[in-house]
Amino acid sequence: MNHKHFPTLLGTVCFAVGLFAASPTVLLAQVKTDGIPTRDQVGALNLPADIAPIEAPFDMPQLTRPQFKADTLSITQTGAKEGKMATRAIQKAIDRMNRQGGGTVLVPAGVWNTGRIELKSNVNLHLTEGAELHFSGNIKDYQPAVFTRNEGVELYSLGALVYANGQRNIALTGKGKLVGPPQDCEIQQRQMRGGVIETYIDVNTPIEKRIYDGKRGKSVFLPMFVSPTNCRNVLIEGVSLESTPFWNVVPVYCDSVIIRGITVHSVGIPRGDGIDIESTRNVLIEYSTLSCGDDCFTMKAGRCEDGLRVNKPSENIVVRHCLAEKGHGGITCGSETAGMIRNLYVHDCVFDGTGTGLRFKTRRNRGGGGENLTYERIRMRLSGQPFVWDMLGSKTFVGDLAIRLPARDITPLTPSFRNITARDIIVESGTQFIKAQGIPETPVENVRIENVTARTDKLMLFQDVNGMTLKNVSIECPDSLIKLVDGRGIRFEQVHFILPEGKVSLEKEGELSRDPEFIRCLMRPQK
């Protein structure tokens, strides 16, 4: 283990490499925080009526709401009554409107009990203010089994409480509320338990034989809350969701999706993700507020061999003006990454009370990875790390693949994360500023973090990283350790370190580790 200490103003080190600046004023990071939103400027309470033009650092279509005929049909006209199961009446109204060429199915104010609802082409299911759909916890209310994707693997099971497959121009809108079944319901009691999904499904089993419908007392995979699948031109707007059985809003294999102004509450629910984009393209998520039992905004693209077989990326995604409150991660890529996550632009968001901030998660057997990911104008107040790469995982879930060394042969299942930019960020609080743990055979590559001001408990870990630049960053921290484990290509340019003794302590492990570059940096003690 190799330790070095870098003193105030980097005098000793910078003289040695010809980088010392004579005037301390030119060393200070000029971090601009103008325009970075506060929590009262984002989220569902600030939803505007119109969708502003979409800007992105990649080719992105200008998404518009699907249009519907002016015809309206209330579920009471097809027999729905409060206090009774209204599944058939709701579905009858949707089917009728679909056959007639489309329109709006209205759920009036009141509490309506239901099982699975299937959206159909050219129909907007609209929940008026005061309307509540309460979903059953009984397996029979979600039979027969439907095609779905659970944790990145294709199968037949309960699907989703609000489901669609192969539909066009569909919407779920309004100021009403959707309430999932209680956590002690039959669905929860009979869910598949004890291990990762590969434990139950052999990748060589044909899809049509992967049936988990709960018949004859057998187990089921938990249904998602809202999951359009193989759909095009999807709008989810304004509604609130609470008490989900599993992930909340999950477009799967969709194209042209708008999710705006929704509110999700799933705190305390295991795997209660907020919005998961699953192998879906051309997506706008805006002005939404998520408070979750797992990750808040999540990008996924299939899992392991089954995900590689399908090979559909999640791409061309814009997330803007959103608020993440409680949750494991503010925004996460992974851990299902087989089809690749690319062209993601997250801007003008606030993570307030979340665990981690920007999270990049995969495993050695997940395949694919992420690339061309851009994050701008984000404010974070966290209980965890602002920047996290977690690529090895735990032996509990992936066995010996979680053991870092020796490096393995690169295969089609070896994932990678590269070409990532994060700029104009305020970190009001967090634990370790950067915790980057790549894979030895595919290190984290080409990351740029710039124009950031941060206060955290610890500094940085670069493990299996090959190329990360921090420019124009100001960080205040009671810890002085920068640790490299086979970390190389690390560059600090105009970084202002405010540390207890005005020194950085460098610790190196591994034959590949190289000293970072420090260019026009300043170190000074905390007051």
Write out the chain's pLDDT in tens, 527 residues. 555 555 433 333 332 232 333 333 444 456 777 899 999 999 999 999 999 999 999 999 999 999 999 999 999 999 999 999 999 999 999 999 999 999 999 999 999 999 999 999 999 999 999 999 999 999 999 999 999 999 999 999 999 999 999 999 999 999 999 999 999 999 999 999 877 898 899 999 999 999 999 999 999 999 999 999 999 999 999 999 999 999 999 999 999 999 999 999 999 999 999 999 999 999 999 999 999 999 999 999 999 999 999 999 999 999 999 999 999 999 999 999 999 999 999 999 999 999 999 999 999 999 999 999 999 999 999 999 999 999 999 998 999 999 999 999 999 999 999 999 999 999 999 999 999 999 999 999 999 999 999 999 999 999 999 999 999 999 999 999 999 999 999 999 999 999 999 999 999 999 999 999 999 999 999 88
- Say how far apart CA 270 and CA 256 lie, in whole Å: 29
Task: Tell me what pLDDT residue 199 has.
Answer: 85
CA distances to 121, 250, 327, 493 from 382, rounded to whole Å, are 41, 25, 10, 25
Residue pair 114/90 in contact by the 8 Å Cβ criterion: yes
Please state, in angstroms and rounded to a whole number, the distance separating the CA atoms of residues 416 and 147.
Answer: 29
Reading the block at residue 268, the tokens are 């305390």
pLDDT score of 16: 28
Query: Is 35 among the domain residues?
Result: no
* Reported pTM: 0.95
Residues in the chain: 527
User: Is 206 among the domain residues?
Assistant: yes
How far CA 54 is from CA of 59, 358, 373, in Å, comes to 10, 22, 16
Q: In this structure, what CATH number is given to the domain that contains residue 181? A: 2.160.20.10
In a domain, 238, yes or no: yes
Q: Can you point out the beta strands (E) in 334-443? A: 341-354, 356-361, 369-382, 387-390, 416-429, 432-437
Q: Give the contacts of 305 (CB within 8 A, at least 6 positions apart).
A: 203, 367, 413
The DSSP bridge partners found for residue 507 are 3, 483
37 domain-assigned? no
Q: Which domain holds residue 170?
A: 63-265
Residue indicated by tokens 């650092």: 57
So what's the pLDDT on residue 4? 58
* Residues 6+ away with beta carbon under 8 Å from 240: 176, 177, 178, 262, 263, 264, 265
Residue 318 inside a domain? The answer is: no
pLDDT of the residue at 486: 98
Residue 97 lies in a domain: yes
Instruction: Say how far apart CA 334 and CA 415 lie, in whole Å.
Output: 10
Q: Is residue 186 part of a domain?
A: yes
Give the separation between CA 116 and CA 97, rounded to whole angstroms: 18
**Residue 35 buriedness (CB in 10 A; 0-12 / 13-18 / 19+):** exposed
Question: Closest Cα partner for 335 from 377, 373, 295, 363?
Answer: 363
Q: Please count the structural domains in the chain.
A: 1
CA distance 61 to 283: 9
DSSP state of 76: G
Is 157 part of a structural domain of the chain? yes
